[in-house]
Chain A
Amino acid sequence: DTGVSQNPRHKITKRGQNVTFRCDPISEHNRLYWYRQTLGQGPEFLTYFQNEAQLEKSRLLSDRFSAERPKGSFSTLEIQRTEQGDSAMYLCASSPRRSSGNTIYFGEGSWLTVV
């Protein structure tokens, strides 16, 4: 069990550029979550997948944000036309289908800095 893997760990981009983050969940976990965390705040839920189905996306911050999980394994989070306010850490997490008490396991996050 290698844990939830995220890359890149750090990304600096110019305003207006698109960025994509990748998340590889724990093997055989079929639920995958994306969160955003800004300085001094708790993680903010964005979206989640069960297998390849995106079951909740109404909390994505704007239509510039999109996520995919095409084969039910890894997932990508894309931010188009980045803005300075998008600077944050983006956390991915996963859980097994029958996780007791809905425990989810987090990766180490991907830091985004928009300049």
Chain B
Amino acid sequence: AQSVTQLGSHVSVSEGALVLLRCNYSSSVPPYLFWYVQYPNQGLQLLLKYTTGATLVKGINGFEAEFKKSETSFHLTKPSAHMSDAAEYFCAVSDPQAGTALIFGKGTTLSVSS
């Protein structure tokens, strides 16, 4: 079965600093991997996804993530944090045993200080 582990439930950075949110996955088949963002009291918005091909994936709002099969990782990065990036971030893996449903990690709260 697929699973996702997000290391660090809370990450704090200063505005302009590098953002690094960690995600490791477990999958018995080649995974599809996703990062979603959730703002307070809202649903989830897709940031980016990896399916096949290029392992460095670029998403919205300047975020990117790199699929590293050898490390079973899919860490999310952004070179320069902005105050508006403060939110909850979820890594997810597609679970073939549940149709196309996604299995999510527990999330990482990103705080950005000025």
CA distance in complex: A101, B48 (Å): 11
CA distance in complex: A99, B101 (Å): 12
Cβ contact within 8 Å between B43 and A50: no
Residues of B at the A interface (CB closer than 8 Å) are 4, 9, 32, 34, 36, 41-46, 49-51, 90, 92, 94-95, 98-107
Q: Which of A91, A99, A111 contacts B44 (CB 8 A)?
A: A91
Cβ contact within 8 Å between B104 and A33: no
Cβ contact within 8 Å between A102 and B32: yes
| Contacts between chains A and B (CB distance < 8 A), count | 70
Residues of A at the B interface (CB closer than 8 Å) are 4, 31, 33, 40-45, 48, 50, 55-56, 59, 91, 93, 95, 99-109, 111
Q: List 27 A-B contacts (CB under 8 A).
A: A4-B43, A40-B106, A41-B106, A42-B92, A42-B104, A42-B105, A43-B44, A43-B90, A43-B104, A48-B100, A48-B101, A56-B98, A56-B101, A91-B43, A91-B44, A93-B44, A101-B32, A101-B34, A101-B50, A101-B51, A101-B94, A103-B49, A106-B36, A106-B43, A108-B41, A108-B43, A111-B41
Q: Which residues of A contact B32 (CB under 8 A)?
A: 101-102
Q: Which residue of chain A has the shortest Cβ distance to B95 in the bound complex? A: A45
> What would 8 more interface pairs be, CB under 8 Å, given A41-B106, A45-B101?
A40-B107, A42-B4, A42-B105, A48-B98, A48-B99, A48-B101, A93-B44, A101-B32
